[in-house]
Structure 1
């Protein structure tokens, strides 16, 4: 099965799968261009490898509208143009392929193209998305508590995990192809909480007291990095409290030993780490 769903920034979605919007060709979902970084010294044979940087991903879809009457063809052309509007910016692409589901964010690289039908019975179309972040991600986020807690953990959203007995140090497993950014939620009371990835040596510390009715939220995702404090329905920016030597920590491939410490309150606070594994292709 090969089904692609695109949801634009307005929440409108379109599905390319079976009739009436059939996928004929889909490229760019696995292959991706890379830029090899290297340096060369005088009189050196060859060069010295430094790093490999992946380029933005371009996904090309060619399909057909499997209807023959003009009014229905016009309806679906208008629907494609409305949802796949390049002026709307980034939208979410969800691809279901052979039982695997991954998602990525992309924007239209120009308007959809509808070639002249000529003698063709069906209307063909072509759509190209540019994905600035080339990595696919697992749409199912993984959440794990780091500490036992008795009481109610109240947030402006619901985390998909069940609290259980754990320690202030635990092992998290990133099954993806690259290091994964994380979201951290800490409910007070706690003073100057710090999260340490013992596997990589990275650490992140917030120099602030978090009250019992507050939740500290940290997001290390590139482009979405933030530190906030939730109190009831109110949100307060807290990036200025982040220790200037801190790292925007991630989960390395495989096992990561994560620890939570604090100047005070680490026995009473609740810490949860959430992430989505990320992949080079699908």
Structure 2
């Protein structure tokens, strides 16, 4: 397991490292608030929804060193990396070939308990607690679904591509929850539109994108945005360009049949999707 804070500093916990985990809690269990309603004279209630709570992750660490001086240095390093003032960091957990990440914030400076059972000349026990406001574990890399499907290669250098510009694709969400998307439209395109045919939801941009212009849309809760990037790379917020009937849809669990259309010829157009599948537990 590796924790990387917002400043880019990391500590890896593994056998052979100065930092080794004794036990960890919170990899799976996370509470939920059940939303329900009750009609007059109704026996029981009716289920409406379940809202996941934050995830609490706690673990004990054994710090090992050759002497008191080295132990003190490692304590300082652990306290610096796990500083609550730095805000959320990334916790990366690997078990065999499975890798998951979660954004988590230390809830306190690491606790170094006293007593002979917790502190010696060559070891120190540390207690750490994190809170993940988004409780889902995610795939490590953001997965892209390219629009351009290469078919041919030629034995010469230089920029040259041939292939098929796809206007449809099947994306499978094998996670446990709805997955938000980052969608990138590349110009030229007139009123580009992406449709999730599986659910009937769509996102349409009522604007003409010129050559080398890009539209980036984020559908994540709390991060919804529509950003236009001109040919010079300058970004600006253009939320008002979105069609009013659009939905900032997410990938449902299972298969999602996605299509792309525009009021102009889409041959050569590029639309990319980026997402991270979400999981309830490791």
On whether the aligned pair clears a TM of 0.5, the verdict is yes
| Partner in structure 2 of residue 113 of structure 1 | 111
Assess if the C-alpha contact under 8 Å between 2:165 and 2:269 holds in 1: no
- 2:203 maps to 1:204: yes
Q: Deviations along 1:144-177, whole A, 9 cap, x unmatched?
A: 1346699xxxxxxxxxxx9953531221111111
TM (normalized to structure 2)? 0.89
Within 1, Cα distance between the matches of 2:202 and 2:162? 24
Q: Secondary structure at the match of 1:180?
A: coil
| Partner in structure 2 of residue 156 of structure 1 | none
Q: Secondary structure at the match of 1:82?
A: helix
The number of residues matched between the two structures is: 268
| Partner in structure 1 of residue 88 of structure 2 | 90
* 1:252-263 matches, cutoff 5 A: 252-263=252-263
Assess if the C-alpha contact under 8 Å between 1:112 and 1:126 holds in 2: yes
| Partner in structure 2 of residue 69 of structure 1 | 67
RMSD, matched Cα? 2.0
| Partner in structure 1 of residue 47 of structure 2 | 49
Within 1, Cα distance between the matches of 2:175 and 2:88? 23
Greater displacement, 139-148 / 213-222: 139-148
Within 1, Cα distance between the matches of 2:25 and 2:228? 42
| Partner in structure 2 of residue 247 of structure 1 | 247
> Structure 1 residues 163, 105: closer, same or farther in 2, change over 3 A?
farther
| Partner in structure 2 of residue 154 of structure 1 | none
Shift of 1:126: 0.7
- 2:135 maps to 1:134: yes
Q: Deviations along 1:100-139, whole A, 9 cap, x unmatched?
A: 1100001111221110133543211111110000001001
Assess if the C-alpha contact under 8 Å between 2:165 and 2:270 holds in 1: no
- Structure 2 unaligned segments of length 5 or more: list them: 152-160
Within 2, Cα distance between the matches of 1:270 and 1:96? 34
| Partner in structure 1 of residue 178 of structure 2 | 179
Q: Deviations along 1:171-201, whole A, 9 cap, x unmatched?
A: 1111111111111111111111111100011
- Structure 1 unaligned segments of length 5 or more: list them: 151-161
TM (normalized to structure 1)? 0.89
Within 2, Cα distance between the matches of 1:42 and 1:203? 38
Shift of 1:24: 0.3
